[in-house]
Structure 1
Amino acid sequence: MAGPSGTLRGTTAVVVNWRDLEHSSAGGSEHYAWEFAKALRDGGADVEFLTARDHGQTRSDVRDGIRIRRGGGVLTFYVRAGLRLLRRRRRLDVVIDPACGIPTFSPLFVRRRTVVVMPVHHVHQDQFATYFPAPVAKVGQLLERVAMPRVYRRRRTVAVSESTRAEMVRRLRWAGAVDILPNGSAVPDAASFAPGDKDPDRLVALGRLVPHKRVELVLHAVRALLPARPGLHLDVCGKGPDEGRLRQLAVELGIADRVTFHGFVDEDRKWDLLRRASLHVCASDSEGWGQVVIEAAGAGVPTVARAVPGLRDSVRDGRTGWLVPDDDDLEVVGSRLTEQVRAALQELDAPAARARTFEECQRWAAGFTWARMRERARAVVEEELARSR
């Protein structure tokens, strides 16, 4: 499947990402990595996707004409990936090495002339402290803040948003150039959605159920708003380790009958839920971008979100949603989020306002496609190959 330029014919490429699309914890970064692999394939390259192996997964597979090689777990994958790159170093022309917390430090294992491109979704300094004990978190923070800028200082780096680029400079003291390579989106035909299909009392929350997504703030908002809007209902779409805690919280708050935990939903079900929803709520601590925001917007659904990195890039405040000023105190954030959801629902009660926001959302989402992302990704690699040769 050679692309328009064909300059990647005869090129051997590896995409190194610690999860693939079939992994039980796969999310937006996995989709991005896979689209990068498809971009190389479309240019005529021979592509291997190197990833960890989840329970029940095979060691190897072929999907979309791309070879998948799996092995290792959360930590051992990095060792296996490094050894695999070292063994193939003389035959590798391109390595795509996303920073999923920390990258695989591929420049240490390949030739200097091998093109290495590192996509960065967001800075993980705070997430290390959220998910790991202090000593382990400190190691992760040092690897990201100290080792990563040094190892990749002469390699091509791309960020998915302007917020991520700014965070890299501010928090990692990144000195090299960082280009912007935004995510894409695969939204159905815009005509398959209509403002008249929206339920004014239907909220939706999309994404993995993990602590830093702060879905509990959305549950508290539902409880607070129910007296004024007794028909309010929240659809939670996604799975993850936080699901049990969130289900229990819904029971404790007395809103279990007002919240539906759908778990993982396929594409058809997701779009059916978005077709009916009037408002998407995202309380995440930070994102590299806001993939779920753009998906919601494609269905004409605006988003209430915290004004944090990534989300302030994907939400056009006052046009495709509303941004809530952030604070270190989650109680303050929760109160602000609740009040903004209340105000947004009141505004969207008016059919004219709902139609106007619907159109703004769809127009914004239409600018982000995976085809455009793949075209830009391929161009980045072609530029680096030309420079290396």
Structure 2
Amino acid sequence: MPYDRSPGEDKSHVAFIVNNYPPKVGGLEQHVAALAKSVSDLGIRTTVVTLDPDHVGTEVNQVTVLRLPASPTLAGVMSWPYPGTKRKLVKLLRAEGVTHVSTHTRFFPMSFVGIRVARALKVPVVHTEHGSDFVSGVSPFVGLASRAVDYTLGRYVLRSSSAVLAISASVQAFVRKLGGKDSTLFLNAINTERFAGSSLSGHSGHLVFLGRIVPGKGWERAIETAECLHGEGRDVHLHLIGDGPDMGRLRRRVKGSPASGRITVHGFLDSATIAGYLHGGILLNPTTLSEGFQTTLLEAIAAEGAVVSTPVNAAEYLAEIGANVKIVAEDKPEAWVAATRSFLDVGWTPASAELVESFDWSARSREYAALLSSLVR
């Protein structure tokens, strides 16, 4: 895609054009927020443009956030920009001297808008892909519709980007499969300082489920595992952290559980409180969804914890580098109990400071800034 810069221009200004951003909660939202702040910390002017019908307006801080009106949000995740959004953004971002556009995940409407805005501004667009496969854990109709979007708008976004970043090796493979395009590995990261602290659980044998309460995330398996261990007479306590459409069903399930007195449903918590519950605990991650690179697993290891997980990207990466991770197939409940029991019986040595430091956003933001600079040149 062609692009240019004004003569003498020596300051970058990157615009993240995304569907979702905090206070919406999720791994993608956390990735964008952390990356935007870290890039800004390096002295690069940073603006976030997002859809948020509940908080329309502009916040001017270290990172400028422009929240646009949009359609009502579907399932807490997907909303659509109103007609004229692209034209409005081109005018605004041109006046602000934007030199790069950043988009995230190929099927979101704002990724398509970001590509169109970048073309109009004649600036490079860096697309970060977070999905490792087609959408799973949905109805056949939704699955068919999502594939149609992937093969049209999703493929267009991948192929039209100046550079594509993939947050895991399996995401790289998917980008090649869907878009026929090479991508650069760009592992997810966290703010490691946030996870150095004391446990808030008040219990040495605490288990944690952390994620959106939606079909496919596996909160049922986490409860079943805690129930089995409780039935064995083990002193465990499960903390369920997150919110979502299945919250009502989860609460009913816990209320009827024989281990209900040893299960706490927290709902949404802020990141500092989450860090306290992760500290020294065992994170149960029974997801069956097409995950990208889940930062929750990095957070658990940084918080001196351990992880039992399905074979998702982050779990396989962490196991390969020697972190405290056990990988179990989701459909083997007895294996989940055995893996968790093993950690409870034997314990584990917390990850080294060097390993934890490799998870930090400071290193990743420098990689991103170098890519922006190379595209300008």
TM-score range, shorter chain: 0.7 to 0.9
Matching residue of 2:355: 364
Contact 2:106 2:157 (8 Å CA) reproduced = no
Looking at structure 2, the residues matched to 266 and 340 of structure 1 have their Cα atoms a distance apart, in angstroms, of 28
Q: Distance in 2 between matches of 1:349 and 1:8?
A: 61
Cα distance in 2, alignment partners of residues 64 and 178 from structure 1: 30
- Separation in 1 of the partners of 2:245 and 2:41? 36
1:185 matched to which residue of 2?
Answer: 190
Which stretch of structure 1 is more off in the superposition, 183-192 or 233-242? 183-192
Cα distance change of structure 1 residues 274 and 67 upon mapping to structure 2, 3 Å threshold = closer
Alignment partners' CA distance in 1, 2:198 and 2:228? 30
Cα displacement string for residues 305-339 of structure 1 (whole angstroms, at most 9, x for unaligned residues): 001344323444874210113xxxxxxx34x2442
Give me the identity figure in percent.
21
Q: Which residue type is aligned with residue 126 of structure 2?
A: V
1:61 lines up with 2:59 in the alignment? yes
1:232-247 superposed matches below 5 A: 232-247=236-251
Structure 1 residues 270 and 67: alpha-carbon distance in aligned structure 2, compared to 1, 3 A threshold: closer
Map of 2:267 onto structure 1: 263
CA distance in 2 between partners of 1:124 and 1:85 (Å)? 30
Q: Which stretch shows the higher mean deviation, 85-94 or 366-375?
A: 85-94
The Cα offsets for residues 82-108 of structure 1, whole Å up to 9 and x where unpaired, read as 333444575542110111643522333
1:148, 1:191 → 2: CA distance?
39
Residues 1:288 and 2:292 aligned together: yes
Cα displacement string for residues 56-85 of structure 1 (whole angstroms, at most 9, x for unaligned residues)? x24221232424333213433275543334
Q: Match of 1:4? A: none
Distance in 2, matches of 1:99 and 1:190, equals 27
Alpha carbons 2:315, 2:325 under 8 Å: kept = no
Aligned residues: 356
Distance verdict in 2 for CA 1:158–1:205, change over 3 Å: same
Seen in structure 2, the aligned counterparts of structure 1 residues 9 and 72 have a Cα distance that, compared at 3 Å, is farther
For the residues of structure 1 that align with 2:318 and 2:294, how far apart are their CA atoms? 5
Please name the residue that 1:346 is paired with. 342
Which segments of 5 or more consecutive residues in structure 1 lack a partner in the other structure?
A: 1-6, 326-332
Q: Aligned match of 2:68 in 70, 74, 86?
A: 70
Give the 3 Å change call, closer, same or farther, for CA 229–107 of structure 1 in structure 2: same
Could you tell me which amino acid in structure 2 is paired with residue 66 of structure 1? T
- On the 8 A contact 1:201/1:233 being kept in 2, the answer is yes
CA distance, structure 2, for counterparts of residue 19 and residue 233 of structure 1: 33
**TM-score, scaled to structure 1:** 0.81
1:311–1:156 Cα change, 3 Å: same
Please list every run of at least 4 consecutive aligned residues from structure 1 whose deviation after the TM superposition is greater than 6 angstroms: none
Residue 154 of structure 2 is matched in structure 1 by: 148
Residue segments in structure 2 that go unaligned for 5+ positions in a row: 1-7, 72-77
Aligned counterpart, 1:385 = 376
Residue 330 of structure 1: aligned partner: none
Partner of 2:4: none
Report deviation, 1:139.
Answer: 3.2
Q: 1:117 touches 1:156 (CA, 8 Å); kept in 2? A: yes
Instruction: Compute the RMSD of aligned alpha carbons.
Output: 3.0
